A and B are shown apart, each in its own frame.
Chain A
């Protein structure tokens, strides 16, 4: 690889974006690495799990300050790195470089915002154009990388982690392993559902989602999924939590939200989730960086 990855990381921690050609090289190398990753990656605890960050770079630095830097701490990010916040470029650049540098210490799942269509509407595209002087090249590079991001992670075969939620097309995790993920997120199907669905304590089975993609799913769906797959818990993100996290369905599903004062307007607290070697889960909440 022609780029000095440690220098990139150092500059990014200071909030300095990479040059366009560095982004190209990092993304090219990252795609090669991610191509070897399965749709569902198996990892072990301890690991610190992070929910949506949405371009809130200074809050990402706060996360590293509280949770420890990678590679000293193992991290699992559940997606939605870009859009809405003002520093999506810095955020995804740093995470991409960390993944390249420490591939076993940090895992990055795909969120529904890791998409060409969504990033055109919700800010990442515009930010790339602005920060790279009218060039869309970096947006092209990053969105290509997004196609390669893994869809789910299992922690010690017990905790199932995705960005959104469950799909009526996926009863067993093995079904997710054989999906062809290397494409733009489609409007429907298993890939869309995993990234867009939401739990709903008021229903049983699957329901229609207000979002226009994915489904809502009830506690019975969660129980059935965990039982069939021999797992104990589902971790996901995707939904704003005023308290930073939300535990539902008799502690069978948790939502982690890691963007404090979301969009600089919501006034919410955020959290990171520490999973210890005994699979105990501990939420640490934090407020927006000043």
Chain B
């Protein structure tokens, strides 16, 4: 989407077709998550509330969703546990303790609820997405007691239902392409503390942005946040036949992976942080993650859920997705974490 069309959509006040298509990916992700949860690959008792109607995904997709969920939850849990270990102050309910998590393009992600349920809530949890998505999310949360009861007691609905504000959880609406002008002020208003160790998450989000926009977000994090880490889960390897077909198939659904050619390899996804002076960055594709970071017992458990027949296809698919984990300073708690091992 070039800036001309973007300016036009701003004027008309509505999202363009491309924006709608990107928003649709939240649904896709939620459906995949629900399929994996329902079949027992992952434990997510909350995703079902966000998915109507449920659909069963193919076994290789369920396995991929398992790996994706495993990596993201691993990072968040390690972060939360490291904070608990280093924190000396007793935590009071609804008082913001240490640590922050910011989920970019959160969609219908349920990580906040999963962490809260495990008693692994961090100091502040921020979710950001288009207003169309956050409004639906807020409404769904409020409709279901198991979700609503996990919100802090001081939660208030804001902006006509498209945002939720509280001392420890904020659902923020906005356009990531307007990060500094639109999102940052809202983060600050909602208590974002630049001095707190903060984990940023982007699951197939930054990749949909033109590099100029995703670079701006990373630049801001680099400048403003004292001790930051980021976990991205995104597509890589556009240049082989599978990558080309992936791009074509997405394009047929009006989805452009605008950031893909800027960072097409494992090296380049890490490079984008290292060139900004971040302390360390590692990247691993999902196929390697599946082979190295999931233990045999767990893989045997997965095999008992569904017969995965198409290994070649799974490997092909999984090689085109990667986790990148980077942290900006040589400091705890991030220097202690190794979520991609």
Instruction: Show the binding face of A for B, using Cβ within 8 Å.
Output: 84, 112-113, 117-118, 121-123, 210-213, 239-240, 242, 261-268
B179 within 8 A of A: no
Which residues of B (239-271) have their CB < 8 Å from a CB of A?
240-246, 249
B239 to chain A, nearest CB (A): 11
Q: Chain B binding site: helix, strand, loop or mixed by DSSP?
A: helix
Residues on the B chain within 8 Å of A122, using CB: 58-59, 309
Contact of B316 (CB < 8 Å), options: A123, A240, A261: A240
Residues on the B chain within 8 Å of A240, using CB: 310, 312-313, 316
Extra 13 A-B pairs, beta carbons < 8 Å, given A121-B306, A267-B246 = A117-B307, A121-B59, A122-B309, A211-B308, A212-B303, A240-B312, A240-B313, A265-B246, A265-B313, A266-B245, A267-B240, A267-B242, A267-B244
Residues on the B chain within 8 Å of A211, using CB: 307-309, 311
Question: A239 and B312: CB pair below 8 A?
Answer: yes
| Cα separation A113 to B58 with both chains bound (whole Å) | 14
Question: B307 and A121: CB pair below 8 A?
Answer: yes
| Cα separation A213 to B308 with both chains bound (whole Å) | 10
Residue of A nearest to B58 (CB): A122
* B 229-243 binary contact with A (CB < 8 Å = 1; else 0): 000000000001111
Residues on the B chain within 8 Å of A266, using CB: 241-242, 245, 313, 316
Question: A265 and B309: CB pair below 8 A?
Answer: no
Q: Chain A binding site: helix, strand, loop or mixed by DSSP?
A: loop
| Cα separation A239 to B316 with both chains bound (whole Å) | 12
Residues on the B chain within 8 Å of A123, using CB: 58
Residue of B nearest to A264 (CB): B249
Residues on the B chain within 8 Å of A268, using CB: 241-242
Tell me which of B58, B303, B310, B317 has the highest count of chain A C-beta atoms within 10 A of its own C-beta. Answer: B310
Residues on the B chain within 8 Å of A242, using CB: 241, 316
Question: B312 and A265: CB pair below 8 A?
Answer: no
| Cα separation A59 to B243 with both chains bound (whole Å) | 21
| Cα separation A91 to B94 with both chains bound (whole Å) | 60
| Cα separation A113 to B307 with both chains bound (whole Å) | 11
Residue of B nearest to A54 (CB): B310
Residue of A nearest to B242 (CB): A267
Residues on the B chain within 8 Å of A210, using CB: 311
Residue of A nearest to B243 (CB): A267
Residue of A nearest to B317 (CB): A265
| Cα separation A210 to B317 with both chains bound (whole Å) | 17
A58 to chain B, nearest CB (A): 17
Question: B244 and A262: CB pair below 8 A?
Answer: no
* B 308-331 binary contact with A (CB < 8 Å = 1; else 0): 111111001100000000000000
Residues on the B chain within 8 Å of A117, using CB: 307
Question: B307 and A213: CB pair below 8 A?
Answer: yes
| Cα separation A240 to B311 with both chains bound (whole Å) | 9
22 A-B pairs within 8 Å (CB atoms) are namely A121-B306, A122-B58, A122-B59, A122-B309, A211-B309, A211-B311, A212-B303, A212-B307, A213-B307, A240-B310, A240-B316, A242-B316, A261-B245, A264-B249, A265-B242, A265-B317, A266-B241, A266-B245, A266-B316, A267-B240, A267-B241, A268-B242
| Cα separation A267 to B313 with both chains bound (whole Å) | 11
List the 7 shortest-distance A-B pairs measured between CB atoms, nearest first. Answer: A267-B241, A267-B245, A240-B312, A267-B242, A212-B303, A210-B311, A239-B312
Tell me which of B240, B303, B308, B309 has the highest count of chain A C-beta atoms within 10 A of its own C-beta. Answer: B309
Residue of A nearest to B312 (CB): A240
A108 to chain B, nearest CB (A): 19
Contact of A113 (CB < 8 Å), options: B240, B303, B309, B311: B309
Residues on the B chain within 8 Å of A118, using CB: 307, 309
| Cα separation A94 to B242 with both chains bound (whole Å) | 30
